[in-house]
Chains A and B, each alone.
Chain A
C-alpha cells in the first residue's frame, strides 16, 4: 500500500479512526476527514506522523456536496491522486418508527447514505483517469438484518449496500472496485450509548461470543483495498462475529 493515497471519512473517532491508522501503518498517505471533531482528527494525524506516516486532517460534512468537492480538490492538490476512498462517516438518531421525527430521518439519510453517494461521485473522476480505484463503504449488519429503533439508520445502510453494487457495476470496467463491510456490534462511542440490557441481548446473538473492536473492521477494509482483493467487487463482507449468516 506504499504511496497509495486514501481518504477516510469520519476518521476522527471509532472505526474510521482505526481504519485511518491501519492504512497509514501499511504505508498509505491518509486524508483524515472529520465534520466537527477537529481536535480528535488532529490527534489521529499526529499519531500517524509520529510513526513516520503521512496524513492531514480535512474538514467536510459529507452530506454537503460543495464541502465534499472541496475536500477532494484539497487531497488532489496535495498528493495528485486518490487511490482509496473509505466511506465511513455515519451518525445515529435512534427512535421507534412511530416516534421518529422527520429531522431524525433526514439527518441520518443525509450523512449515512447521501454522503456515500457524494464522496463516491467526487472521487470517481480522478479514479477513472487513473484507471485505478478502491472504494470501501462501511455499511452495517443491521442494514442486512433490520433493527428495531433504527429505521433511518437501517434504511441508510441497506441503501449503502445497494449503492455499493451499482457503483461496482458502473465502475468495474475502469478498474475501480467497490465493496462494503457490514460491521456487527463494534465497541465505539456510538455503541457505548446503548443500555446494558441491549448489550447483553446482543451478546447472546453473537456466535463468537464477544463484541468486535475497530481493528476487526480495519483489517478487513485493508484487505479490500489491497491487491489481494482485486478480483472482488460489489460484495458486502459481514464482520460481525457470525451474527448474521
Chain B
C-alpha cells in the first residue's frame, strides 16, 4: 500500500505541480489538487504506464480521489 501511494503521489506531484503534503488519500483530483478533466485522463494514462496495467474508461471514471486510484491499483496488483 505504502509503495503504491508513494508512486502515485510522485506522479501527481510531477503532473499537477502540487506539494507532496497536499496529496492525501482523501484529496480529490479536481476539487483539491486543481486538476481539470484532461489532467485526470493524463494521470490515469501515466498510472497505466507506471503500474503496467490497462484501466478501462468505466473504471477510470470512478477514480475521483487519490484513495480511489490507490485502492484500484492495489486491488489489481493483489
The answer on A and B forming one complex is yes
Q: Is the beta-carbon distance between A129 and B45 smaller than 8 angstroms?
A: yes
- Beta-carbon nearest neighbor of B45 in chain A: A125
Contact B38 A170 (CB under 8 A): yes
User: For chain B, what secondary structure do more than half of its interface residues adopt (helix, strand, loop), or is it mixed?
Assistant: helix
- B42 partner residues in chain A, CB cutoff 8 A: 128
Report B-chain residues with C-beta under 8 Å of the C-beta of A174.
38
Number of B interface residues in the complex (CB < 8 A): 4
- Closest partner residue, chain A, to B36 (CB atom): A173
> CA of A173 to CA of B41 in the docked complex: distance in angstroms?
13
Q: How far is the CA of A128 from the CA of B48 in the complex (A)?
A: 14
Residues of A contacting B41 in the complex (Cβ-Cβ under 8 angstroms)? 128
Residues of B within 8 A of A170 (CB): 38
Least CB distance, B40 to chain A, in whole angstroms: 12
Q: Cβ of A128: which chain B residues have Cβ within 8 Å of it?
A: 38, 41-42, 45
Chain B stretch 2-45: residues in CB contact (< 8 A) with chain A? 38, 41-42, 45
Q: How far is the CA of A125 from the CA of B41 in the complex (A)?
A: 9
Q: Determine the residue in chain B with the shortest Cβ distance to A124.
A: B41
Roughly how many angstroms separate A14 CA and B45 CA in the complex, as a whole number?
A: 37
Of residues 101 to 148 in A, which have CB atoms within 8 Å of B's CB atoms? 125, 128-129
CB distance from A172 to the nearest CB of B (A): 10
Q: CA of A128 to CA of B46 in the docked complex: distance in angstroms?
A: 11
Q: Across the interface, do A173 and B38 meet the contact criterion of CB distance under 8 Å?
A: yes
Minimal Cβ-Cβ distance residue in A for B42? A128
For residue A173, which residues in chain B have a CB less than 8 angstroms away from its CB? 38
Q: How far is the CB of B54 from chain A (nearest CB, A)?
A: 11
Interface residues of B in 24-78 (CB under 8 A from A): 38, 41-42, 45
Q: Can you name 4 extra interface pairs (CB under 8 A) apart from A128-B41, A128-B42?
A: A128-B38, A128-B45, A170-B38, A174-B38
Binding site for A on B (CB under 8 A): 38, 41-42, 45
Chain A: residues with CB nearer than 8 A to chain B?
125, 128-129, 170, 173-174
Across the A-B interface, the 4 shortest Cβ-Cβ residue pairs: A128-B42, A125-B45, A173-B38, A170-B38
Listed by A's residue number, 9 A-B pairs whose Cβ atoms lie within 8 Å are: A125-B45, A128-B38, A128-B41, A128-B42, A128-B45, A129-B45, A170-B38, A173-B38, A174-B38
